[in-house]
């Protein structure tokens, strides 16, 4: 009986393109039927026309297209050789260092870490004070150093080597379960690793994406970041997640008009129309 019900629900979802194609047991707002596929496509196209595709994410996009092509999908893939893939462990630590700091400072912290300790074995063997000094420019050095040491220690104990490449062979749910065992590794960090290093379809929610999603009413008023992550991952189509996430993140760094103008009235609406050419998202904010 449960199997028949599940088949019926999947058939209904396939028949109605406005419904998410996944089951939504984890969606905190199942009755908030936004964003629609049409909205996602429109926002992506508007931001792509405004910014172009962000250069900082171009190599990951090429890797995704190459991976899809190798799996039999028909995509236009550049004939130029791709950069060597970043290791999963490198990506995880780099993302961890990006928490609560600027992109510039996090990049400096990761470069400083790799310069001081070229291998992860050296990082694990280093004393805490030396490790903190190496990443201090990224902020929260004590907390991040402790998290890195703990994660490496647990990984070595569990797998007997400091490597996370085995995650490439696991499902999304299995990857989330594996990474959630490490103290200090939260949903956003896991989602970033899934999207960038593992070429999986996930939608990280950082501050920029969160604020824009609220301004466009893609989540109910009062939604926190974790619930926003759960909801958006159910409603944004998988094939749109990567480009849309990169574009929203980039737009959030460059423009604050859509967030500040969300819900404006009167004279502010007049100003919105004047700014519409510089911020296409204003027309989505209510």
pLDDT in tens, 201-222: 999 999 999 999 999 999 999 9
pLDDT of res. 260: 75
Is 0.75 topped by the overall pTM? yes
H helix count then E strand count, the chain: 15, 0
CATH of domain 33-70+202-284: 1.10.1670
Q: By the 8 A CB rule, do 251 and 45 touch?
A: no
Confirm whether 33-70+202-284 and 88-197 share one CATH topology.
no
Better pLDDT: 6 or 282: 282
Better pLDDT: 31 or 66: 31
Q: Is the peptide bond before 270 cis (omega within 30 degrees of 0)?
A: no
CATH class of 88-197: mainly alpha
Among residues 121, 124, 119, 94, the alpha carbon closest in space to that of 109 is found at 94
Domain chopping of the chain, boundaries = 33-70+202-284, 88-197
pLDDT in tens, 53-97: 999 999 999 999 887 776 655 444 443 444 567 899 999 999 999
- Least confident piece of the model among 123-127, 172-176, 268-272: 268-272
pLDDT in tens, 140-157: 999 999 999 999 999 999
- Active-site annotation holds for 85: no
Q: By the 8 A CB rule, do 30 and 24 touch?
A: yes
Annotated active-site residue in 108, 142, 161, 188:
188
* Nearest-angstrom CA–CA distance, 91 and 168: 13
């Amino acid at each position: 009986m449960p199997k028949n019900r599940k088949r019926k629900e999947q058939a209904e979802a396939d028949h109605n393109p406005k419904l998410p194609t996944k089951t939504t047991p984890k969606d905190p707002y199942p009755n908030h039927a936004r964003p629609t596929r049409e909205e996602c496509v429109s926002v992506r196209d508007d931001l792509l026309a405004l910014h172009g595709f962000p250069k900082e994410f171009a190599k990951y996009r090429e890797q995704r297209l190459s991976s899809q092509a190798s799996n039999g999908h028909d995509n236009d893939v550049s004939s130029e050789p791709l950069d060597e893939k970043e290791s999963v462990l490198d990506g995880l630590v780099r993302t961890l260092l990006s928490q609560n700091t600027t992109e510039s400072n996090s990049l400096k912290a990761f470069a400083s870490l790799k310069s001081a300790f070229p291998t992860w074995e050296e990082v694990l063997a280093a004393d805490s004070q030396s490790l903190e000094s190496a990443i201090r420019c990224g902020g929260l050095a004590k907390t991040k150093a402790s998290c890195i040491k703990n994660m490496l220690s647990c990984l070595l104990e569990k797998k007997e080597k400091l490597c996370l490449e085995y995650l490439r062979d696991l499902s999304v749910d299995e990857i989330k379960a594996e990474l959630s065992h490490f103290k200090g590794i939260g949903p956003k960090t896991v989602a970033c690793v899934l999207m960038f290093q593992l070429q999986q379809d996930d939608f990280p929610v950082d501050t920029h994406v969160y604020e824009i999603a609220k301004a466009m009413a893609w989540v109910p008023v009062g939604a926190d970041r974790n619930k926003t992550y759960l909801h958006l991952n159910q409603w944004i189509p998988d094939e749109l997640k990567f480009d849309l996430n990169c574009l929203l993140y980039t737009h959030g760094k460059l423009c604050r008009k859509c967030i500040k103008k969300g819900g404006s009235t009167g004279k502010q609406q007049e100003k919105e129309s004047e700014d519409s050419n510089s911020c296409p998202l204003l027309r989505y904010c209510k």
